[in-house]
């Protein structure tokens, strides 16, 4: 397969699978629906323009995977829609040798009243396959989606995971030359995800190109050969994935700074003698929201009291996206009793290595007396901060956290007496 692939790329070097030149798109925003009709009839201008994409160009060679990163509203969806030809550009062109199939929203055109088997035909026709093509790959689709006896049941009885399996199976067998994937891989169970990844690798090896849009930086680093970073509709990076991910992290951090810290002040509850004025998550230098597992994060809090408080404790709790407590501690347990003078703010920093599994986390913080908040709680802020762990620094691990492990190996005498029972 590898040899075949190299040969393939060598001959097609001059012929990209996907060639995108100068895509520009503005959306017209009308204040009232009737303005649209007036504009149409009179030819006069009644709208404001919103530029979603500005002169976006890139090419994709056979077998190449391009990751697209950008903040919300940076133009990622517009770009995907345009590649999928459901939105037309104002300027620029898209050239693709062969079919582009999108895994944008899986199961488009599925009819819940029909069986899985009938929906294979429906969905296949919808994404541009002919009846012949569908018949040719039907057996492969059925085998891949592992639906078993459910295949002849109406779709409405399927779990969402089953629908995704069916949709992915159809899309990957559709004979596309270029594949658009938008967060679609984050669904389904682990076994099927692995199967999908393996199938995608196979598709890449056979010379298929992929455009991959995701917020899962780990997956982007793992799958993509190149990363495109969009910012306000413009390409600000088109190159190595690591650089692209770093740039994206900076953009996200900048966004985090834009959010006024004071907005957090309204949140929370408590008796109010002391308050958390603001909070920030940073690395060793600057504000950041994305970390790799093992990187050091610093949680910085501004505290203020209405009156003199001699016995004050600041506690934190890191929760995962399911709201499970992952780790919590407080200043009292750490042996740093805090005290606040009236009105004089105090800055407290907690620095810790984020030895956490990739995923999204929130930080809850509280000010209270004593070593727990049960007796006297001054201020409690749920989900005060958010951060994400994407990618792993150092050895890969399984589970929710990385405990420090020391591995030692010793030569020992063979154990003659302690023989294992046979059989």
Partner 1 sequence: MSLPASRRRGIHLSLLLHFTRQSLVDRYAGSVLGALWAFIMPLVMILIFVFVFSKIMGGRLGEVSPALGEYGYSIYLVSGILGWNAFSNTVTRMSSVYLERAAVIARVDLPLVQLPLFIPLTEVLIFAVSFSFFIGFLLLLGHGPGPEYIWLPLILAVQMLLAWSLGFICAVLSVLLRDVRELVAVAMQLWFWLTPLVYVMGILPQWLQSLMLLNPMVPIVNSWRDVVLYQQAPSLVGLGAVALLAMLLLGLGLLLFRRVEAELRDLL
Give me the residues that bind partner 1 (CB under 8 A), please: 27-28, 33-34, 36-37, 40, 81-82, 84-96, 102, 104-105, 108-109, 111, 113-114, 118, 121-122, 125-128, 130-131, 154
In contact, 314 and 338? CB cutoff 8 Å: yes
Q: Which is nearer to partner 1, 76 or 275 (CB)?
A: 76
SS3 assignment, position 415: coil
Closest contact distance (angstroms) between CB of 37 and partner 1 is 5
Task: Return the number of the residue (93 or 393) whose C-beta is nearest partner 1.
Answer: 93
Looking at the Cβ atoms of 43 and 404, the one nearer to partner 1 is: 43
Give whichever of 28 and 341 is closer to partner 1, judged by the CB atom. Answer: 28
Smallest distance from the beta carbon of 33 to partner 1, in angstroms? 6
Least Å from the CB of residue 22 to partner 1? 10
| Smallest separation, CB 91 to partner 1 (Å) | 7
| Minimal distance, residue 196 CB to partner 1, in Å | 19
**Rounded (5°) CA angle 7-12-16:** 140
State which residue, 96 or 385, has the beta carbon closest to partner 1: 96
For residue 362, what are the β-bridge partners? 319, 386
Q: DSSP letter at 176? A: -
User: In 147-189, which ranges are continuous DSSP H helix?
Assistant: 160-172
Question: Which residue, 180 or 332, has its beta carbon nearer to partner 1?
Answer: 180
Q: With respect to partner 1, which residue has the nearer C-beta, 91 or 344?
A: 91
Strand boundaries in 165-295, DSSP class E: 178-182, 209-213, 226-231, 234-239, 274-282, 290-293
- Phi, psi for 409 (deg, rounded to 5): -125, 130
Tokens 């709790």 identify what position?
Answer: 317
Closer of 121 and 346 to partner 1 (Cβ): 121
> Under a CB-based contact definition with an 8 Å cutoff, are residues 155 and 114 in contact?
yes
Task: Please classify residue 34 by burial: count the beta carbons closer than 10 Å to its beta carbon, then call 0-12 exposed, 13-18 middle and 19+ buried.
Answer: exposed
Cβ burial, residue 260 (10 Å; 0-12/13-18/19+): exposed
C-beta separation of 80 from 181 below 8 A: no
Report the C-alpha gap between 59 and 71 in whole angstroms: 22
DSSP assignment string, 395-414: S---SSB-------------
Minimum CB distance to partner 1, residue 90 (Å) = 6
Q: Residue 88 CB, nearest distance to partner 1 (Å)?
A: 4
Q: How far is the CB of 165 from partner 1 (least distance, A)?
A: 19
Radius of gyration from C-alpha coordinates of the chain: 27
Smallest gap from Cβ 212 to partner 1, in A, equals 17
Pick from 49, 56, 46: nearest CA to 81: 56
CB atoms closer than 10 angstroms to residue 148: 10
Strands 100-103 and 274-282: unpaired
Nearer to partner 1, 105 or 243 (CB): 105
86 or 343: CB nearest partner 1: 86
For residue 136, the minimal CB distance to partner 1 (Å) is 14
């Amino acid at each position: 397969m590898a040899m075949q692939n190299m040969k393939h790329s060598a001959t097609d070097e001059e012929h990209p699978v996907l060639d995108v030149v100068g895509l520009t798109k503005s959306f017209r925003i009308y204040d009232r629906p009737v303005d649209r009709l007036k504009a149409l009839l009179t030819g006069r201008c009644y709208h404001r323009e919103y530029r979603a994409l500005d002169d976006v160009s890139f090419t994709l060679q056979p077998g190449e995977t391009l990751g697209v990163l950008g903040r919300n509203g940076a133009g990622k969806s517009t770009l995907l829609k345009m590649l999928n030809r459901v939105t037309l550009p104002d300027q620029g062109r898209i050239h693709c040798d062969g079919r582009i199939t999108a895994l944008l929203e899986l199961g488009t055109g599925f009819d819940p009243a029909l069986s899985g088997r009938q929906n294979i035909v429906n969905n296949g026709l919808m994404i541009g396959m002919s009846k012949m093509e569908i018949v040719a790959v039907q057996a492969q689709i059925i085998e891949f989606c592992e639906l078993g006896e459910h295949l002849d049941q109406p779709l409405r009885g399927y779990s969402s995971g089953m629908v995704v399996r069916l949709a992915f199976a159809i899309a990957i067998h559709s004979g596309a030359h270029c594949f658009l994937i938008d967060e679609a891989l984050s669904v389904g169970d682990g076994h099927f995800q692995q199967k999908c990844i393996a199938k995608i690798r196979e598709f890449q090896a056979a010379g298929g190109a992929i455009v991959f849009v995701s917020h899962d930086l780990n997956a982007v680093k793992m799958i993509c050969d190149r990363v495109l970073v969009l910012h306000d509709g413009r390409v600000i990076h088109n190159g190595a994935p690591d650089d692209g991910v770093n740039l994206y992290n900076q953009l996200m951090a900048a966004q985090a700074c834009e959010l006024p810290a004071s907005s957090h002040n309204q949140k929370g509850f408590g008796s109010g003698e002391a308050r958390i004025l603001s909070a920030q998550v940073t690395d060793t230098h600057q504000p950041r929201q994305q970390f790799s597992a093992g990187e050091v994060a610093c949680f910085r809090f501004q505290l203020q009291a209405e009156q003199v408080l001699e016995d004050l404790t600041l506690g934190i709790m890191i929760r995962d996206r399911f709201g499970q407590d992952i780790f919590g501690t407080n200043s009292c347990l750490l042996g740093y009793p805090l005290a606040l003078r009236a009105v004089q703010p105090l800055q407290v920093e907690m620095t810790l290595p984020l030895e956490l599994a990739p995923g999204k986390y929130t930080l809850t913080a509280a000010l209270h007396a004593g070593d727990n908040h049960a007796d006297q709680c001054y201020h409690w802020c749920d989900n005060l901060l958010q951060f994400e762990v994407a990618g792993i620094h150092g050895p890969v691990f399984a589970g929710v956290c990385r405990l420090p492990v020391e591995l030692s190996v010793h030569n020992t005498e063979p154990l003659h007496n302690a023989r294992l029972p046979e059989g």
